[in-house]
Each structure stands twice: as structure tokens, then as C-alpha cells.
């Protein structure tokens, strides 16, 4: 199928991007492979999982080839070196978010980090030690989330409420993809025990005004958990500025390996929480009658940890620091502005989420009139373009906007204008393939 599509906007915004895309692409081995019969891989699915630069892969290989041992056990040289490398990565990652090293807990991913907090809050009600009962959640208490949360920051709270008899409440959304804070003062009230909110929506791209929410939570004495799975990889995040009690994020979405995530918590809060998973490493003294536990972060790291992955995540953080998170943010802002313009040129394409770049990240969800998102994704895939289709683990959001699903493109440090052009051309191709090329006249304003 040949294609002669006018591209009136192409080139209009092509000011140099803040990051050197060609140099960065050379760092990612996977970007040199082809897909679907020799096509260049246009990877626009970093929001699901990011690709890994060579330095991350090398760090993991270095660990297994030179150091491999279980950290925090044993007194042999490898064990010492493994412990050193593991803890050094913890320091690197802590500095990256402006945190104290002993406030960084390693988990499997953001999902596990959130479950850790949710289970700690219900375990608190039955904790033997009075010091662990401070944040107990029970009947009459309320947990607040928002309608734009990823299932990972919704379902664990629904389950916590089911276990404890607490009530789940939520902040709704406006038509343009922002949090509706008009009832913040009533939804977050003196019964609220915890507010869980995403910093950047994985489906809408919205960057939330956390300041207002944090201030209200403080007023009523509620804890605040920020889901940073989509923010920490894409913008500078400093926990001292955030003002929250918890921040969670996943290594695999920020150039790091799968199988490692982070729970950051204010030390005094972590210290007052009972453990979630129990076993080796997290204990102080074990007797047949019962056990006592280590202080944070060890209290929350039961079992031999994912050492190579933690070291890989340390390397990913160093890679991002070399690029500079301000540059990463500016890079994605430029791409987002360009992509929103390019998509707006295509009749029948509707972006679900903020229509401009104000307080907006680079997750762009859209629908194409007359073509189901799955079918859009299939045509894009045929062109070598990897996007996500479906409800993006945020089913209430697609329901809120009255669409069955969306197609989502997400950007990262190796994304260039050429990737966005490929996306726009691919969408037009899907319209031609399915015979739905709306006329400019019917385009929605």
C-alpha cells in the first residue's frame, strides 16, 4: 500500500530536542533490531516497560560474573562485596529522589510497594507490639484514592477496606482529564487515614497538583502515598519537596531491570509499621515462641533480595542522572507538544486527556473514529510501531470517558520526532486500511 499523505504540520515544531536521540539510541541494543519483516522498531510503549541501556545490562552481568553472593549474610569476601554493591545502589537511588538511604525499601515493583503499605496498615490492627498499631485502619476509617489510579493503586485499597471494614472514597475527574478537586475538603476529612494518588496518570498523562492534596491530608492528619511509577522515570522528583509519607516506583519503567521496585517512606512512619512479608533477613531475634524485627528498611525486605536487579537499577539511575532529569522532562515536553499537534491534524483522532502540555506528561491516549483501538494497534504493529492498546490497567478511566479502550503512545529518552511522525503516518494508514477517512469538515472542534 503506497501512501501520499499531506503533512501540513510536519517540521513546524522541529526545534532541536534537549536530548541527543541518535547518541542515546546507540546505548540501547534492542533499538538496533527490526520487527515485522525488517522494519525499524518504533518503541512507543515505555509507559508499560522501558528498554534498557547497555550500562544496565552490563551492571547485572558484572554482578553475576564477579560478585554473586547473598547480601547481608555470610562473612566471605563475595558476601561482603555483594552487600557493599547492594547498599551502594540503595544510596544512589536514595540520592536520586532526595531521600535518606534508610528510607528506601526494595520491593518487586510499584504494585508490591503499595501492597506492602496496604497490608502493613491492616496488620497494624492486630500487631502484638503497641508501637506497630499507630496507623491501624479499621471500621469507620476512610481511604481516599482518585478515579485516575492504575489498578495497582486502587485494588490494594479496595482489598484493605474489605479486610478492615474501612470505607473507600475517591476524587473524580473533569472532562479534560484532570482531577476534580472541588470536593477535596469533604472527601478528605478527619476520618481519612490515607490518601493514595498518582503523580502522573499512566493513561491520561495528567500531572496532578499534589500540593493541594498533600496540604489537605496534613490538615486532617492522613498519610499520603504518591504513586510515582510514571513520574519518577520522567521528571525530577524530590521527596523533601513532595511532602508525602510514601512514594512508590518501579525499576523497569525507568531503564532498570524487571523485578525491582522501590518503596520510599518517611523514616518515622516506616518505623511505626509492622512487616508485610516475613522470614529471613528482616528479623532481629527469633525464638520458637515468637520473633522481633529489624528497623527499616530491613524490616520490609524478607528473604534474599533481587540483588542483581537492584544493582542494575542503580546503573539506570546513574544513566538518567548523566542525562539530567530536567533534560528528560524538557525532552518529553517537546515531544508531547509535537505529538499533540500531529494528532490534532488527523481528522477522527480524539486525545483522551489534557489537550495541551500544561501539567502533562508524555502518555498520549487516543481513539480513532470508526476503528477499535486493538485494530489501530495492529496496523501500527505492522509498521513496526509498538504502542499499548486496551484499558491500560485503569479501567475506571476509560469507563469515565465513555470509550471501550484507547491506543496509547508513551515516550522516553530515545524517542525522537521521527517516532512521532511514524505514529501519525501509521494512524492515517489504519484509517485508509479500514476505509474510515473522515473528511476535514466532520472533524470535531
Give the active site residues. 393
Label the pairing between strands 385-386 and 42-43: parallel
Q: For the chain, what is the total number of helices (H) and then of strands (E)? A: 14, 17
Q: Taking CB under 8 A as the rule, does residue 267 contact another protein?
A: no
In angstroms, how far is CA 198 from the centroid of its own chain?
9
Does residue 164 contact residue 135 with C-beta atoms inside 8 Å? no
Task: Assess 432 for contact with another protein (CB under 8 A).
Answer: no
Q: Which is nearer to another protein, 217 or 397 (CB)?
A: 397
Number of residues that bind another protein (CB under 8 A): 19
Site string for another protein, 335-374 (x = CB under 8 A): -------------------------------------xxx
Q: Cβ of residue 382: shortest distance to another protein, in angstroms?
A: 5
Q: Three cell numbers at 83?
A: 552487600
Closer residue to another protein in complex, CB, 121/422? 422
Q: Phi, psi (5° rounding) for residue 198? A: -85, 145
Contact status: 404 vs another protein (CB under 8 A): yes
| Alpha-helical segments (H) within 97-236 | 110-123, 155-164, 184-187, 210-220
Task: Give the nearest distance from C-beta 115 to another protein in angstroms.
Answer: 19
Q: How far apart are CB 444 and another protein at their closest, in Å?
A: 21
One residue of 150, 391, 414, 428 binding another protein per CB under 8 A: 391
- Is residue 5 part of the contact set for another protein (CB under 8 A)? no
Q: How far is the CB of 390 from another protein (least distance, A)?
A: 4
Residue 286: other Cβ atoms inside 10 A: 11
Nearer to another protein, 99 or 371 (CB): 371
DSSP 169-211: EEE-B-TTS-B--TTHHHHS-TTEEEEEEESB-TTT-BBP-HH
Q: And the C-alpha cell for 416?
A: 525522537
Rounded Cα–Cα distance for residues 374 and 406 (Å): 8
Single residue of 389, 409, 413, 420 touching another protein by CB under 8 A: 389
Binding site for another protein (CB under 8 A): 1, 36-37, 372-375, 378-379, 382, 389-391, 395, 398, 404-405, 433-434
Amino acid at each position: 500500500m503506497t501512501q501520499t499523505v499531506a503533512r501540513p504540520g510536519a517540521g513546524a515544531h522541529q526545534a532541536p530536542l534537549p536530548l541527543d536521540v541518535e547518541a542515546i539510541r546507540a546505548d540501547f541494543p534492542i533499538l538496533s533490531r527490526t520487527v515485522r519483516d525488517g522494519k525499524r522498531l518504533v518503541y512507543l510503549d515505555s509507559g508499560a516497560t522501558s528498554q534498557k541501556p547497555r550500562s544496565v545490562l552490563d551492571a547485572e552481568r558484572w554482578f553475576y560474573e564477579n560478585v554473586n553472593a547473598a547480601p547481608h549474610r555470610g562473612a566471605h569476601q563475595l558476601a561482603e562485596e555483594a552487600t557493599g554493591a547492594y547498599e551502594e545502589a540503595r544510596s544512589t537511588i536514595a540520592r536520586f529522589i532526595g531521600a535518606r538511604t534508610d528510607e528506601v525499601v526494595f520491593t518487586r515493583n510499584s504494585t508490591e510497594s503499595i501492597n506492602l503499605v496496604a497490608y502493613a496498615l491492616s496488620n497494624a490492627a492486630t500487631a502484638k507490639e503497641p508501637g506497630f498499631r499507630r496507623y491501624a485502619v479499621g471500621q469507620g476509617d476512610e481511604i481516599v484514592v482518585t478515579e485516575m489510579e492504575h489498578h495497582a493503586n486502587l485494588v490494594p485499597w479496595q482489598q484493605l477496606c474489605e479486610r478492615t471494614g474501612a470505607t473507600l472514597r475517591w476524587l473524580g475527574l473533569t472532562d479534560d482529564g484532570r482531577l476534580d478537586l472541588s470536593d477535596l475538603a469533604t472527601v478528605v476529612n478527619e476520618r481519612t487515614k490515607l490518601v493514595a494518588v498518582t503523580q502522573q496518570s499512566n493513561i491520561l498523562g495528567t500531572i496532578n497538583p499534589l500540593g493541594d492534596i498533600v496540604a489537605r491530608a496534613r490538615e486532617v492528619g492522613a498519610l499520603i502515598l504518591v504513586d510515582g511509577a510514571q513520574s519518577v522515570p520522567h521528571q525530577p522528583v524530590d521527596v523533601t519537596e513532595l511532602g508525602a509519607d510514601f512514594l512508590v516506583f518501579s525499576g523497569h519503567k525507568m531503564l532498570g531491570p524487571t523485578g525491582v521496585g522501590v518503596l520510599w517512606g518517611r523514616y518515622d512512619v516506616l518505623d511505626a509499621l509492622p512487616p508485610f512479608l516475613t522470614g529471613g533477613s528482616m528479623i532481629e531475634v527469633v525464638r520458637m515462641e515468637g520473633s522481633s524485627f529489624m528497623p527499616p528498611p530491613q524490616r520490609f525486605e524478607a528473604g534474599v533480595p533481587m540483588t542483581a536487579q537492584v544493582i542494575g537499577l542503580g546503573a539506570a539511575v546513574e544513566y538518567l542522572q548523566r542525562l539530567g532529569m530536567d533534560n528528560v522532562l524538557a525532552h518529553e515536553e517537546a515531544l508531547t507538544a509535537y505529538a499533540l499537534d500531529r494528532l490534532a491534524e488527523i481528522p477522527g483522532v480524539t486525545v483522551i486527556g489534557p489537550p495541551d502540555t500544561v501539567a502533562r506528561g508524555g502518555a498520549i491516549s487516543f481513539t480513532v473514529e470508526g476503528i477499535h483501538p486493538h485494530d489501530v494497534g495492529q496496523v501500527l504493529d505492522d509498521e513496526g510501531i509498538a504502542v499499548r492498546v486496551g484499558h491500560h490497567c485503569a479501567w475506571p478511566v476509560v469507563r469515565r470517558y465513555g470509550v471501550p479502550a484507547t491506543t496509547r503512545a508513551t515516550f522516553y529518552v530515545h524517542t525522537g520526532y521521527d517516532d512521532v511522525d511514524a505514529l501519525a503516518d501509521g494512524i492515517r494508514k489504519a484509517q485508509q486500511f479500514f476505509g474510515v477517512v473522515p473528511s476535514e469538515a466532520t472533524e470535531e472542534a
